[in-house]
Amino acid sequence: MIVVLAGPAGVGKGSIVSGLLSSRSDFVLSVSATTREPRESETDGVQYYFVSEEQFDRMIEDRQMLEWAWVFGLNRYGTPKKPVDKLQAAGKTVILEIDLDGARQIRKTAPDAVQIFIAPPSFDELEQRLRGRGTETEEQLSARLETAKEELRSQNEFDQVFINDELDKTTQEVLDYILRRKEENERSTGNR
Ligand code: 5GP
């Protein structure tokens, strides 16, 4: 099963994913490829595969991407297809932490994927969280906030929206929802 987790930058998707991964050994996060520069705390192959523009071009040409998008108009990010196929074949629940554009592509290529949107309690709160994180320049911050406005308008395209007002509670709600969808899925495949 594929689970798409979308929502604006700074909303806490990363923390929710960490919580999901630590409570379920059958959940795996797909590692994306990106042309963005690594942050100080990041390691190649862990948070992302950090690739050059040319490598990213080649991955697209070779049809190695399940989806890919320009994010914040600054860099490209994409989901390598092969690892997702392998993990799915091994019975894992594969989480894709991707942007709105990517989520829309997955809706076409993997219509059975569970589509979840994580929303902030308010736009002001999102801005405060992003600023508090201190990982972006002012230019990057305004690009992320502009994109966030568009993403927030798209919420109703998703199967389910969770407002991340309290991390532990939201993580539990997301987990319960995924498990419910998995159960429904298994029941309907079993009935076929
Ligand atoms: P960051 O630069 O903060 O690590 O990630 C920025 C945004 O890129 C994330 O909020 C996420 O929505 C998006 N993103 C990360 N990986 C992918 C991917 O593989 N595909 C797409 N479409 N978006 C991604």
Nearest CA owner, ligand 1 atom 6: 9
Strand order in the sheet with 75-80: 48-50, 32-34, 75-80, 65-71
Q: What is the pLDDT of residues 1-32, one digit of tens each?
A: 999 999 998 899 999 999 999 999 999 999 99
Beta strands at 48-50 and 32-34: parallel, antiparallel or unpaired:
parallel
pLDDT at 190 over 90: no
Q: Ligand 1 — pocket residues by CB below 6 A?
A: 9, 32, 36, 67, 69, 71, 77-79, 97-99, 101-102
φ, ψ (nearest 5 deg) of residue 85: -60, -45
Compute the distance from residue 71 Cα to the ligand 1 centre, in Å.
7
Residues pairing with 34 in the sheet: 50, 77
Q: What is the pLDDT of residues 40-83, one digit of tens each?
A: 899 999 999 999 999 999 999 999 999 999 998 889 999 999 99
Q: Do 175 and 20 contact (CB within 8 A), yes or no?
A: yes
Q: What is the pLDDT of residues 134-169, one digit of tens each?
A: 888 888 899 889 999 999 999 999 999 999 999 999
Boundaries of every domain in the chain: 2-189
Tokens of 108: 């076409």
Compute the distance from residue 70 Cα to the ligand 1 centre, in Å.
9
Q: What is the pLDDT of residues 166-186, one digit of tens each?
A: 999 999 999 999 999 999 988
Say what the pLDDT of residue 192 is. 61
Say what the pLDDT of residue 42 is. 94
Q: Is the domain defined by 2-189 classed in CATH 3.40.50.300?
A: yes
Compute the distance from residue 33 Cα to the ligand 1 centre, in Å.
9
Tokens of 87: 């993990």
Compute the distance from residue 97 Cα to the ligand 1 centre, in Å.
7
Is the pTM higher than 0.85?
A: yes
Instruction: Report the residue among 16, 65, 74, 77 best suited for mutation to probe ligand 1: largest number of ligand atoms under 8 A from its CB.
Output: 77
Instruction: Report the residue among 31, 99, 106, 133 best suited for mutation to probe ligand 1: largest number of ligand atoms under 8 A from its CB.
Output: 99
Say what the pLDDT of residue 136 is. 83
